[in-house]
Amino acid sequence: MTQDDLPAIFRDFNPLDDKILQIIDREGKLIRKDLMPELDDATIIDAYRQMLYERTADEMAVSYQRQGRMYTFTPNLGQEAIHIAAGMNIRHEDWLVPAFREMGTLLSKGVTMKEMFLFYLGNEWGGSFQNAHHTLPIAISIGTQLQHATGVGYSVKYRRKDETVFTFIGDGGTSEGDFSEALNFAGVWQVPVIFTIQNNQYAISVPVQKQTNSINLAVKSVAFGIPGIKVDGNDFFAMYLAYKTAAEHARSGRGPILIEALTYRLGAHTTSDDPSKYRKKEEEQLWGKSDPLIRLKRYMQDAGIWSIDEEQLREQYKAEIDREFTEAENEKSYPLEDVFTHIYSDMPDELRRQKSEYEQFLSWKEKRG
């Protein structure tokens, strides 16, 4: 691909120069009016509402876990602008191949909080996202999902479908071999895949400086011959523009794209993690000021389109989310059948035997009282 074929922002924000795409600054002030995507007020308000919903759901999930009502959870706090911007550009027919910290994007594909909760309550049905079209389950084995995304891309291209693949990885994941292999295959095959690196600065406790000697993560695209861009991941408008441009590029048959979304994991890696062991409060506070919700809200206030009663909306979301959690919490049924049924299309005799022997044990146990 020559430079001329690249969308303008991919030329202007060349990762080799370590430039970063930003449209509103850390105070929410519009600094690149020329790049501002054309969004009507209602859409911007809707974006804020979605980010607030994800934020509220996330905080409540952490709180349920703390109350001992839910198992390990992976917080999304501080990364909502990426998730919602992606979600607003992903269509029903598009594919979502997630890692595990993209809750807002999953919700936009039709995943419900009840399903998310059910998953973190330890039930595979929750994580299977039955009703979310073209949405793969959460991938916990770091980086492996990118290969699946490239394969889905090949399949889409082979079947001549107008479908785009959105996939995610973290900064730590870029050190995995699968990251490089997936981008390399995608480049060779020229498949319609949008790769997002959520660079939230930490892989559990290890800072991104210990992952790579590259000047940034977007620059890794250069070696694979695919366009890449570093974007302010806490700037909703920059993320929206990046996804809109990337989607147009992929949808016009011009191949894959790599987006590095520079952000900060304001929460812990998981609810089992304690960030105070490896990072300073001051650093968290500094990034806290770049909170994507605060920035978008300030912009909206400056632009005179802030019309949200945030407290009231939060309460409304809390009630909705709590209803979904209660439903998930009450869904206690996990029949033995579920352990065995989905390993193969037809249950092999060995599994039938193991299941039946266990059932005999259960009836022995029941008789024994």
Partner 1 sequence: MSVMTMVKAINNALEIKLKEDEHIVVYGEDVGVEGGVFRVTEGLQKKYGTERVFDSPLAESGIVGTALGMAVSGLRPVVELQFEGFTFPAFNQILSNVARIQNRSRGKYKAPMVIRFPYGGGVNALEHHSDSPEALFAHIPGLKVVIPSTPHDAKGLMIAALESNDPIIFMEPKRIYRAIKQEVPDEKYTLPLDKARVVQEGSDITLVAFGAMIRECQKAIVMAEEAGISVELIDLRSIYPIDRETIRTSVRKTGRMIVVAEAHESFSVGSELIAIANEEAFLYLEAPPRRVGGFDTIVPLAQGEPYYIISPDRIFYEIEKTIHF
CB distance 168 to 106 below 8 Å? no
Residue 116 within binding range of partner 1, rule CB under 8 A: no
Question: Could you tell me which stretch among 28-36, 229-237, 266-274, 334-342 binds partner 1 (CB under 8 A)?
Answer: 334-342
Q: Which of 11, 133, 278, 334 is catalytic?
A: 278
Please say which residue, 187 or 275, places its beta carbon nearer to partner 1. Answer: 187
Residue 98 within binding range of partner 1, rule CB under 8 A: no
Q: How many residues bind partner 1 (CB under 8 A)?
A: 44
Taking phi first (over 0 means left), then psi (-120 to 50 degrees means alpha), and beta for anything else, what does residue 43 get? alpha
Residue 178 within binding range of partner 1, rule CB under 8 A: yes
Residue 122 within binding range of partner 1, rule CB under 8 A: no
CB-based contacts of 63: which residues, under 8 Å, 6+ apart? Answer: none
Minimum CB separation from partner 1 for residue 150, in Å? 5
Q: How far apart are CA 356 and CA 351, in angstroms?
A: 8
* Interface of this chain with partner 1, residues 210 to 229, rule: CB under 8 A: none
Q: How far apart are CA 21 and CA 197, in angstroms?
A: 15
Is 254 among the catalytic positions?
no
Q: Which of 26, 83, 101, 265 is catalytic?
A: 265
CB-based contacts of 160: which residues, under 8 Å, 6+ apart? Answer: none
Residue 232 within binding range of partner 1, rule CB under 8 A: no
Q: How far apart are CA 76 and CA 352, in angstroms?
A: 41
Please say which residue, 104 or 153, places its beta carbon nearer to partner 1. Answer: 153
Is 368 among the catalytic positions?
no
Minimum CB separation from partner 1 for residue 215, in Å? 25
Among 91, 125, 288, 308, the residue binding partner 1 under the rule CB under 8 A is 125
Q: How far apart are CA 349 and CA 302, in angstroms?
A: 67
CB distance 106 to 116 below 8 Å? yes
CB distance 261 to 235 below 8 Å? no
Residue 129 within binding range of partner 1, rule CB under 8 A: yes
User: Which residues, listed in sequence order, are joined to residue 261 by a DSSP beta bridge?
Assistant: 198, 231
Residue 156 within binding range of partner 1, rule CB under 8 A: yes
Is 278 among the catalytic positions?
yes
Residue 348 within binding range of partner 1, rule CB under 8 A: yes
- E strand residue ranges, the chain: 95-97, 165-170, 193-199, 202-203, 206-207, 228-232, 257-262
Structure tokens at 202: 């930490």
Residue 350 within binding range of partner 1, rule CB under 8 A: yes
| Catalytic sites, residue numbers | 265, 269, 278
Residues of this chain that interact with partner 1 (CB under 8 A) are: 95, 97, 124-125, 127-130, 134, 136-137, 139, 141, 144, 146-156, 158-159, 177-178, 181-182, 184-185, 188, 338, 341-345, 348-350, 353
